[in-house]
Structure 1
């Protein structure tokens, strides 16, 4: 590091990071900036092999070409009500955040991938539903990395089809207590739409089928065709992790039910989980048809139609106009207004009348139409905690983007554009020189939790891409 030629006195390295100290105190003048330059060099360990020969000029040229390709892919980013320059800035920041979290294959991680946040040392691994979102976003500008992100998780697919929650450099630390919501087929389909890579579809199809079937074999306690979140060890905490919404208010009163050895379910069927599974059947049909598996495609389409009717009948509460989780064995809703309620619209499972009712709730200022819109729990819920609530009120950008797409899918284009605009202009620092955050305060727009968060970047890229 250099500050006007002063240089650096020492660099101390620890397991958690490193610290740089200047030779002399750094004096700052009021209202003036001082620039610090960090110069890094690769020191090759010749004890482990011969130092590779690198043509520096060629390497720099290839690097520039690669980055030009990344940025060209998002150059046409647009968002109604937002200056084009602002939309492109958000897109570029999204690309930089995702690529900044790129990690090469090493240890027991057999393919490259993207970690959730390099700013949080607890995130030194790959998580399943993070990976699905990362891959879908990467498909538009770094498709090779997108494919590897998917492969990294499926490298550890179990014989019964399960994919673990998260994987690490040391596979002994992998979390097999639960998996994560089923968005893998959606991510593969997004990669295919961006690349037309049928070889990748063929590589992934059987794996996706096994993972999809696993949900109904191990997480459908009453065998009624609707699944539940659960765990392999029977614990409530792992079952909540499986939802991805760790402390969601809808799970406050769950009990665990044993399905078999190493398979437990919550005692409630979740609206978002079954919407994801419905959509996955349609995605598997699309993939099967692209691979010339017409009979498979017809089967997936039939299954989707049957599941759609069941979700519409069982999980929509006409009196409240919203989709809710339902208790097993009885027609009893879990009446928590959360972001899971609009997943049915994102997946296309709602009727037009149901969608209209859900949209009214989403656009209600007392519930979800906050300054930064679409929090994960309605603002009028007594458990609403917009700063420290984690999944009890902060805005998580993946769920917010699902909400924008949900509105668009059912013709609420103007309202969707307004929500999307507010998600950009009211998130503090987003359009300026500041990092993207894990989640945001819906009342103030302040960012919270981990900085440089990958799925926030992926979601904002979805929001502004054209």
Structure 2
């Protein structure tokens, strides 16, 4: 049996909403509600600000007639229920309402669709109260009675709270439920054992929608409302790949935002956010600018701004999104920007002039603290070479499809780049090397597996990389694939890109194995990746490869982990379950 009803999918997602790793929120809202004792606390989500800096309410508690705090008894995407029949819900993106909510057993269903209202009128809130404290220590209490059955809290842009009695609580509850039911109508239906986590991951993608008013109220599906409130270029690609299965229009919107603000020479920015873009070190706070310039390329002018971007997977993501729903005119417009971005890598990021572009700063790789960046910059990295080959091959296919560019030129450049990439192969060690300012990097990292994506490696090299994936002293960890080989001196199971498993690198290796003719191994790694997310309790930012649990410092409810789980689950459920 499969789950097909939106309400059932919402209930499956609700099983994961613990208000600790997954806050209560609403698509397009910046308001986040977390568990705090028997009550909750409230924050806003803001770019480059921590939760601690964005406190709205330190506590919000519902009390019964005797003054005892009512515990939280259930959480669904549209409501937090407290014992005693009180529920907290949204009243649009900037307000919360708290008041009477009938449990399922209490509801009186009617044929006119007003069952919820009928049930709400049947019970008294007399003697109950709602109280909250603000960060300055102020305590506010609203007594509930048969006339004041609910309270409304409006949260301003300055995080101040205005409150009043609410007469719209039942309607707010119904409206919020409708928003989530509409979202879950789009949730992909997958294999039964994957459906619960898929529903939760689909909730994550909806929960992480942030509206950007300065950009025409564009919808950005951010990596997380906890600390990552912006559209990072790389994240947008992976998130779009998952969104395409249920909301291809929103998937296209993520790519369009990532492509909307190229520099004059074609470079795409690292981040698009509510205040502008992050494309160079000059877009950062002054203290960060100086740090970046000190750590910048040894070849680039240290007094000049350091370009900040992300790896070139734009054409790959575009091709994936168009598989679900063609949009040719829109695609042609995006391709013009992608081609200019690809040219930028060769014209502006080949910092030593050898024909192979380099990373001028770790931020541009997406693997910020990988040991391949422990040495001097720029870094010649096999993953970048692989992405550039893949992107030129995708651009050649688009040129052939639309007849609007020179496919042969893209294929010729891909062939040249592949030759340079093969120069990084170390046959003795069985890996692709990175180079730090021309000096070989000793570390054995996940970037050396990315050349599988090209689909054009010699078979003996593919065999060696496949063997590395199975080797327990390299990438065959209990929960694969670690981002640094287990036996490497730099391996650390909890330290971001220095050992933990990331869902995006796993998904890229799955794609690489498939492109390299290893479909069975690709299927196996896809199964192990979705098993990791379920074992670890959700789509976290990264996982300990020894325990399979969330790494201590990883963000929870992480966008690309959720999106790529959805993508892998759909692929593993082929033919799709209706």
State the TM-score bracket (shorter-chain normalisation).
0.7 to 0.9
Corresponding residue of 1:463: 568
Between the aligned partners of 1:325 and 1:9, the Cα distance in structure 2 is 48
- Structure 1 position 343 matched with structure 2 position 429: no
Corresponding residue of 2:433: 324
- Alignment equivalent of 2:392, drawn from 278, 281, 285: 281
C-alpha deviation, 1:207, in angstroms:
0.6
Query: Does the C-alpha gap of structure 1 residues 222 and 107 become closer, same or farther in structure 2, counting only changes over 3 Å?
Result: same
- Structure 1 position 151 matched with structure 2 position 256: yes
Corresponding residue of 2:219: 112
**Mapping of residues 8-407 of structure 1, within 5 Å:** 15-18=54-57, 19-23=59-63, 24-26=67-69, 36=82, 37-42=87-92, 63=179, 66-67=182-183, 69-71=185-187, 74-75=188-189, 77=190, 84-108=191-215, 111-118=218-225, 120=226, 122-171=227-276, 176=283, 177=306, 178-230=308-360, 239-255=361-377, 266=378, 268-293=379-404, 296-312=406-422, 314-327=423-436, 333-387=440-494, 389-407=495-513
C-alpha deviation, 1:205, in angstroms:
1.4
Corresponding residue of 1:258: none
Conserved in 1, the CA contact under 8 Å of 2:478 and 2:546?
A: yes
Query: Does the C-alpha gap of structure 1 residues 183 and 85 become closer, same or farther in structure 2, counting only changes over 3 Å?
Result: same
Between the aligned partners of 1:364 and 1:8, the Cα distance in structure 2 is 48
CA RMSD of aligned residues (A): 3.2
C-alpha deviation, 1:317, in angstroms:
1.0
SS in 2 for 1:20: strand
Conserved in 2, the CA contact under 8 Å of 1:428 and 1:447?
A: no
Q: Which runs of 5+ in 2 are unaligned?
A: 1-23, 25-37, 45-52, 73-79, 96-153, 155-170, 284-305, 572-578
Corresponding residue of 1:49: none
Conserved in 2, the CA contact under 8 Å of 1:109 and 1:167?
A: no
Conserved in 2, the CA contact under 8 Å of 1:436 and 1:452?
A: yes
C-alpha deviation, 1:455, in angstroms:
0.8
- Structure 1 position 450 matched with structure 2 position 555: yes
Conserved in 2, the CA contact under 8 Å of 1:91 and 1:465?
A: no
Conserved in 2, the CA contact under 8 Å of 1:108 and 1:168?
A: no
C-alpha deviation, 1:415, in angstroms:
3.3
Between the aligned partners of 1:127 and 1:215, the Cα distance in structure 2 is 18
Between the aligned partners of 1:12 and 1:297, the Cα distance in structure 2 is 50
C-alpha deviation, 1:444, in angstroms:
0.3
Query: Does the C-alpha gap of structure 1 residues 217 and 40 become closer, same or farther in structure 2, counting only changes over 3 Å?
Result: same
SS in 2 for 1:107: helix
Following superposition, which runs of at least 4 residues in structure 1 exceed 6 angstroms of deviation?
Answer: 7-14, 55-62
- Structure 1 position 418 matched with structure 2 position 524: yes
CA deviations 1:293-351 (Å, max 9, x no partner) are: 2x511221222122223322x1111111111213555xx53232111111100232422
C-alpha deviation, 1:383, in angstroms:
1.9
Q: Looking at CA atoms only, which structure, 1 or 2, has the larger radius of gyration?
A: 2
CA deviations 1:181-235 (Å, max 9, x no partner) are: 11111111112222111011111111111111111111112333211001xxxxx
Conserved in 1, the CA contact under 8 Å of 2:245 and 2:324?
A: yes
Q: TM-score, with normalisation over the residues of structure 1?
A: 0.80
Conserved in 1, the CA contact under 8 Å of 2:375 and 2:436?
A: no
Q: TM-score, with normalisation over the residues of structure 2?
A: 0.65
C-alpha deviation, 1:273, in angstroms:
0.5
Between the aligned partners of 2:180 and 2:561, the Cα distance in structure 1 is 26
Q: Which runs of 5+ in 1 are unaligned?
A: 2-6, 46-54, 78-83, 231-238, 256-265
C-alpha deviation, 1:173, in angstroms:
6.5
Corresponding residue of 1:441: 544
SS in 2 for 1:112: strand
Between the aligned partners of 1:12 and 1:426, the Cα distance in structure 2 is 30
Between the aligned partners of 2:540 and 2:193, the Cα distance in structure 1 is 18
